[in-house]
Structure 1
Amino acid sequence: MTKLDVVIRNGEIVTAAGAIGQADIGILDGKIVQIGGELEGELELDATGKLVMPGGIDTHVHLSSPPSLQQREPRWVDDFYSGSAAALAGGITTLGNMSFADPGELPMDCIQRDADVARGQTMVDLYFHPVLRQAIPEVLDQIPTLFESGCNTIKMFTVFPDFDAQIPAFMEAARRAHQHGMLTLIHCEDHMLIEEATEQLLNAGKTSMRYYPESRPVNSEVIATQRAVSFAEATGAPVYIVHLSSKRALDVCIDAQERGLPVYVETRPLYLHLTRERFEDADGAKYVGQPPLREQSDVDALWEGIRQGYIHTVCTDHAPWSLEAKLDPTHDLRNLRPGVANLQTMIPMLYSEGVLKGRISLGKLVEVTSTNVAKLFGLFPHKGTIAVGSDADVVIFDPELEQTVEASMIKSNAAHSVFEGWKVTGWPIATLRRGELVFQNGEILSQPGSGELIARGKTQAL
């Protein structure tokens, strides 16, 4: 019998199909090579009474920012190392980072810049999404090169002030991306409506964060989502709506999906666990994300959207700040710091608040945090499942472990969580990335630079 690198014994294997039974898993050279049968490993891990799931894939994080932004003001506090630590502790083994170009940078330039930094820091496997600030000819001409280099996405923001003036060019970007099997990510909020709403609030002296939801109203998300759907309808290009927050915007996507349009939807933990009442708190500014927290009816609709398959992924939009920066008293509705730390708590809270409360199935949790992401972002079946031949990205998950979220446990440099004080049942106790044990019992075991920068193939329809 060939001695394997790692054997995981006696765990209940879970895929997007649900719990598929108890079996040992054999790992060699970073791959799953055997499931069941006789196995012997150099390292043997006992998963009795535990769930064994594919590593999470969070395709929406912010672990870097352009040098020009870093010089102007404080930015997100996690680099690729600390962000990796938070991810591994949360059962996430692969990340997709948003890469913003500096003035004059083309998409390939900004990806290369981030890659040069990440290469020596990351402990997760990593890929990049270039953000298109301008759809100028030089940018459009690079889209084939992006795909050839292993990048299968572009991202655009309808909330950028100059987006409206470039709509034909952005539609052409989506069209060209589609021609190469790529996916177009779209941040859906309308700049004009947000500017108008914010101006009216400021003129009325309503400057505090308690008015933040009114400054970015639901209709700004709805209109921008309708525009994203129109891109898919006009060009045939698949579009991926990031961090959708409201029932009304989801309804737009459901209508599009039922008409057969390639519209994929992501939501994030903020919108599944919290409501706008948090902005009434004295520390309400720490909950600021874009879009804002919504009503309980929106929360309920998003859970149901996940259950029914209208929402395809749950990702964090992890963009953490220090608590001091979030609560800066000099900031108002025009000058705020959106983003929170989510990586370490996303999967545990989906299990605790979703699976245990009967909102979603165990298979659905795996589907929206791993399998669907792998398919949409050109990684399946190397990642996103537990199968012979797949990368050995594996999480051993204790479904009965109860922990209260505390600042002291947070691996992110943010050193706080918007979910502090929540009692959460179900946590990763071990994480393997390509067969290497990188997290166990609260400790990071990996080294900076051990993660790989990975290439992606064409988007797969779900």
Structure 2
Amino acid sequence: MRIVRGGTVVESNWSAPADLVIDDGKVVALLAPGTSVDESAEVIDATGKLVMPGGVDPHCHVGFTSGEFTSLDSYLECTTAAVFGGTTTIVDFAIPRPGQSPLDAAEKQRAKAGEGLCDSALHACVVEWDETTGGQLATMAAAGIRTVKMFTTYAGETMANEHTILNTMQATRDLGGMVIIHCESDAIVADAQNSAAATDDIDASHMSRTRPELAETASVAAILAIAESQDAPVYFVHQSTSAAVELVVDARKRGVVAFTEAVAHHLTLDDTAYAGAEPERFVCCPPLRPAGIVEGLGRQLFTGNITTIGSDHCCYDTAQKRSHRHDVRHMPNGLPGVETRLPVVFSHYVAGSGLAPSRFVELTATNPARTNGLYPRKGSLMPGSDADIAIWDPELEWTVTSDELHMATDYTPYEGRRLRGKPVTVLVGGRVVVDGGRLIDPTPHGRHLPAAPLDFSGAFRM
């Protein structure tokens, strides 16, 4: 038995001083501060700290292959970085390679879960509908894989047409699941890229020009229409503009069950990074937006319009990013971020802008667990939940450097950024895994988490 004593426990809808009792990997009690417990219990002193549920990262690519590039981390490396950043559950993607079925991709990726330091869940992916797809989705749903990633861009690789998207929405709806979707109009993107190439502006420094904001909003509007026609829930990944978010908000007002995810880099970085000495390090999709758009997107955290914050972690290194820096059409899109997601957002928005810690927990742990069928096992510290706990020092000031991070890459887009707030002790399943900047328990205990059928009736519809 362990007791976390002296801290302020932060849930998504309340926070208060409390002592937390852990036994057999679970939270078993929340007690008034100083309540007597078994004298043999190990005490973890959280005086002056925030005791939060471990983060749930709903958008994490591990060993992801796209085109000629494969991101560099294993499950062990990715989850090690995750726990140092206060994240104790990741949701990975099983994106099939050409010729591979969605079910085969999911089974191979799911088998890696035991290599992790923390638990993981999985999104399936459908690229093209055929006579076997419905059965594959039913098999995966029975195994607890209920969310299905789809793309409206990357023609010839992962892009799905609208017939495939509609059919997949029908099937996932009936299986207690949901489509999660990357929205950019491929036609608008291709035209913008061709236009940029014609004027020799297709390098990384012109990334913003090659994937305009309109490509995102046009695709979001089209996908919302399909979801509305099928009365199917839909979750939009990495929305990068307030205009895209507002389309989802308007659909919710019409009764559509629709969710917005933002990611840390779109909330804290802007397109001036493309004017720097190494713009290729910031090439992501959608691209970083102008500062005014970033500020507007950040305001949506306070209104409740954004449901979750993910990382969209893609662990490429500098050599991979540089290999095609003169033509973004061939570059690997994505930034490393599983370790920095929580500290960067906490520093910028909680410490810097007054976002309530409870709202931070809601965005980064509770709602990601809910939208993936993992709540209340994850994303909560109420009795019965897994004892995945991040104990934060909200006043600790530190500087981000790639040398001191744990991701399997040689750079971070936040190099040199001064932050306030950091998880100093992290427990996974009641075991202390990280403490004082050191890895205490390197033993993989990761489990694949089967998602429960998704039910968005009642209170949680945003």
Q: TM-score, normalised by structure 2?
A: 0.94
Aligned to 1:137: 131
Establish whether residue 64 from structure 1 lines up as the match of residue 59 from structure 2. no
Establish whether residue 39 from structure 1 lines up as the match of residue 33 from structure 2. no
Aligned to 2:341: 346
2:246 partner amino acid: D
Distance in 2 between the 1:351 and 1:165 partners? 35
Secondary structure of the residue aligned to 2:72 is coil
Distance in 1 between the 2:144 and 2:177 partners? 10
Aligned to 1:441: 436
State whether residues 53 and 379 of structure 2, in contact with CA within 8 Å, keep that contact through their aligned partners in structure 1. yes
Distance in 1 between the 2:97 and 2:320 partners? 23
Establish whether residue 146 from structure 1 lines up as the match of residue 145 from structure 2. no
1:344-395 CA distance string (max 9 Å, x none): 1111122211012235211110000011111111111111111111111111
1:152-179 CA distance string (max 9 Å, x none): 2111101132688732232011111011
Change (3 A) 1:150 1:165: closer
Distance in 2 between the 1:362 and 1:397 partners? 11
Distance in 2 between the 1:168 and 1:321 partners? 33
Distance in 1 between the 2:284 and 2:47 partners? 39
**Counterparts of 1:282-301 in structure 2 under 5 Å?**
282-301=277-296
> Quick one: percent identity of the two aligned structures?
29
Structure 2: gaps (5+ residues): none
Distance in 1 between the 2:242 and 2:454 partners? 26
Aligned to 1:79: 74
Establish whether residue 271 from structure 1 lines up as the match of residue 262 from structure 2. no
Shift of 1:42: 4.2
Aligned to 2:153: 159
Change (3 A) 1:195 1:329: closer
How many residue pairs get aligned? The number is 452
Change (3 A) 1:273 1:330: closer
Aligned to 2:117: 123
State whether residues 64 and 114 of structure 1, in contact with CA within 8 Å, keep that contact through their aligned partners in structure 2. no
2:47 partner amino acid: T
**Counterparts of 1:201-350 in structure 2 under 5 Å?**
201-328=196-323, 331-350=326-345
Aligned to 2:104: 109
Shift of 1:296: 1.8
Structure 2 residue aligned with 1:14, among 7, 10, 15? Answer: 10
Structure 1: gaps (5+ residues): none
State whether residues 18 and 362 of structure 1, in contact with CA within 8 Å, keep that contact through their aligned partners in structure 2. no
Distance in 2 between the 1:236 and 1:166 partners? 19
Shift of 1:252: 1.2
State whether residues 54 and 390 of structure 2, in contact with CA within 8 Å, keep that contact through their aligned partners in structure 1. yes
Structure 1 window deviating more from structure 2 (436-445 vs 279-288): it is 436-445
Secondary structure of the residue aligned to 1:244 is coil
Distance in 2 between the 1:157 and 1:108 partners? 17
Structure 1 window deviating more from structure 2 (133-142 vs 280-289): it is 133-142
2:420 partner amino acid: T
Structure 1 window deviating more from structure 2 (426-435 vs 336-345): it is 336-345
Distance in 1 between the 2:307 and 2:69 partners? 33
**Counterparts of 1:445-460 in structure 2 under 5 Å?**
445-460=440-455
Distance in 2 between the 1:431 and 1:191 partners? 41
2:8 partner amino acid: E
Shift of 1:250: 1.5
State whether residues 59 and 91 of structure 2, in contact with CA within 8 Å, keep that contact through their aligned partners in structure 1. yes
Change (3 A) 1:135 1:329: closer
Structure 1 window deviating more from structure 2 (426-435 vs 30-39): it is 30-39
State whether residues 64 and 314 of structure 2, in contact with CA within 8 Å, keep that contact through their aligned partners in structure 1. no
1:158 partner amino acid: T
Distance in 1 between the 2:437 and 2:71 partners? 24
1:392-419 CA distance string (max 9 Å, x none): 1111100111100012211001132111
RMSD: 1.6
Secondary structure of the residue aligned to 2:239 is coil
Change (3 A) 1:361 1:165: closer
Shift of 1:334: 1.4
Secondary structure of the residue aligned to 1:137 is coil
Structure 1 window deviating more from structure 2 (229-238 vs 351-360): it is 351-360
Structure 2 residue aligned with 1:356, among 351, 363, 368? Answer: 351
Structure 1 residue aligned with 2:390, among 395, 398, 412? Answer: 395
Change (3 A) 1:194 1:313: same
1:184-203 CA distance string (max 9 Å, x none): 10000111111111011111
1:127 partner amino acid: A
Distance in 2 between the 1:280 and 1:160 partners? 25
Secondary structure of the residue aligned to 1:44 is strand
1:258 partner amino acid: K
Change (3 A) 1:299 1:134: same
1:105-134 CA distance string (max 9 Å, x none): 322211111122342x21110111111121
State whether residues 189 and 212 of structure 2, in contact with CA within 8 Å, keep that contact through their aligned partners in structure 1. yes
Structure 1 residue aligned with 2:408, among 413, 434, 455? Answer: 413
State whether residues 311 and 341 of structure 2, in contact with CA within 8 Å, keep that contact through their aligned partners in structure 1. yes
Secondary structure of the residue aligned to 1:100 is coil
Secondary structure of the residue aligned to 2:154 is coil
1:184-241 CA distance string (max 9 Å, x none): 1000011111111101111111132121111101111011111221122111111000
Distance in 1 between the 2:266 and 2:98 partners? 33
